[in-house]
C-alpha cells in the first residue's frame, strides 16, 4: 500500500471539512478579531497533514497555491501549536525503501558523486540531505576526523 499523494490528501480534507477544492485552496485574509476563520483552520490542518506525509514546505506551498513556502511552514506551526502536536520533521527514512536505506548506509563515507549515481531516481538535494541526517544519527558528522584517527 502506498502513501496517499498530496492531491489525495487535499481531496480528503475537502470532504472532511466540507469545502470544495477551490474554496480550500483560496487564500484567506486575516480577520483580526481574535477568532480564526474556519476555512483558514481547515487550510492549516490540510498543510499539517501534507507535512506529516513527508512533503516539503515548498511542495506544500505549490499544492496549496501559496507564493512562498514560509506561509506553509507558518500554517503547520500554527496548527501544531493550537492542537498540542509536534511539528512533523523533514522527510524521514520512512519514505525510502529498505534497499535504499541499506545502500545509503553502505555509502556514508563515499564521495558525493558516487552516492548520487547510486540514487538516479532521487534528486541531488534529497540524497545529500538524507545522507547527512543518516551520518548525524550514527555519530558520523566528522568522518574525516574519524578516518584520520583510525589510520593513526
Three-state secondary structure of 81-120: HHHCCCCCCCCCHHHCCHHHHHHHHHCCCCCHHHHHHHCC
Q: Domain count of the chain?
A: 2
Is 88 inside any structural domain?
A: no
Same structural domain for residues 71 and 99? no
Higher pLDDT, 25 or 143: 25
Is 1 inside any structural domain?
A: no
CA angle 11, 81, 39 (to 5 degrees): 35
Range of the domain at 143: 93-151
Same structural domain for residues 36 and 67? yes
**How confident is the prediction for the chain on average, in pLDDT?**
80
* Amino acid 151: pLDDT: 54
Same structural domain for residues 99 and 143? yes
pLDDT reading at 47 higher than 90: yes
**CA 15 to mean position of chain CA atoms:** 23
Same structural domain for residues 72 and 111? no
Is 29 inside any structural domain?
A: yes
Give the CATH number, domain containing residue 43: 1.10.1750.10
Same structural domain for residues 16 and 71? yes
Percentage of the chain lying above the pLDDT 90 cut: 28
pTM of this prediction exceeds 0.85 = no
pLDDT tens digits, 97-150: 778 778 887 887 788 788 888 877 677 777 777 787 777 777 766 655 555 555
Domain's final residue, options 65, 83, 101:
83
Same structural domain for residues 34 and 79? yes
**How confident is residue 78, by pLDDT bands cut at 50, 70 and 90?**
very high
Same structural domain for residues 102 and 68? no
* Amino acid 24: pLDDT: 93
Higher pLDDT, 89 or 91: 89
Q: What H or E segment, with its residue span, contains residue 24?
A: helix 21-25
Inter-axis angle of helices 69-83 and 38-52, nearest 10: 100
Same structural domain for residues 119 and 144? yes
CB 88 within 8 A of CB 95: no
Q: Mean pLDDT, to the nearest integer, of 54-58?
A: 82
Same structural domain for residues 68 and 106? no
Amino acid at each position: 500500500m502506498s502513501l496517499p499523494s498530496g492531491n489525495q490528501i487535499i481531496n480528503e480534507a475537502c470532504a472532511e471539512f466540507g469545502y470544495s477544492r477551490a474554496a480550500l485552496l483560496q487564500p484567506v485574509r486575516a480577520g483580526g478579531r481574535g477568532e480564526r476563520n474556519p476555512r483558514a483552520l481547515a487550510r492549516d490542518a490540510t498543510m499539517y497533514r501534507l507535512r506529516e506525509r513527508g512533503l516539503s514546505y515548498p511542495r506544500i506551498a505549490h499544492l496549496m497555491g501559496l507564493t512562498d513556502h514560509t506561509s506553509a511552514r507558518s500554517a503547520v506551526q500554527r496548527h501544531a501549536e493550537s492542537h498540542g502536536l509536534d511539528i512533523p520533521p523533514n522527510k524521514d527514512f520512512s519514505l525510502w525503501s529498505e534497499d535504499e536505506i541499506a545502500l545509503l548506509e553502505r555509502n556514508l563515507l563515499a564521495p558525493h558523486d558516487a552516492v548520487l549515481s547510486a540514487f538516479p531516481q532521487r534528486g541531488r538535494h534529497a540524497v545529500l540531505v538524507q545522507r547527512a541526517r543518516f551520518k548525524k544519527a550514527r555519530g558520523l558528522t566528522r568522518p574525516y576526523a574519524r578516518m584520520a584517527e583510525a589510520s593513526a
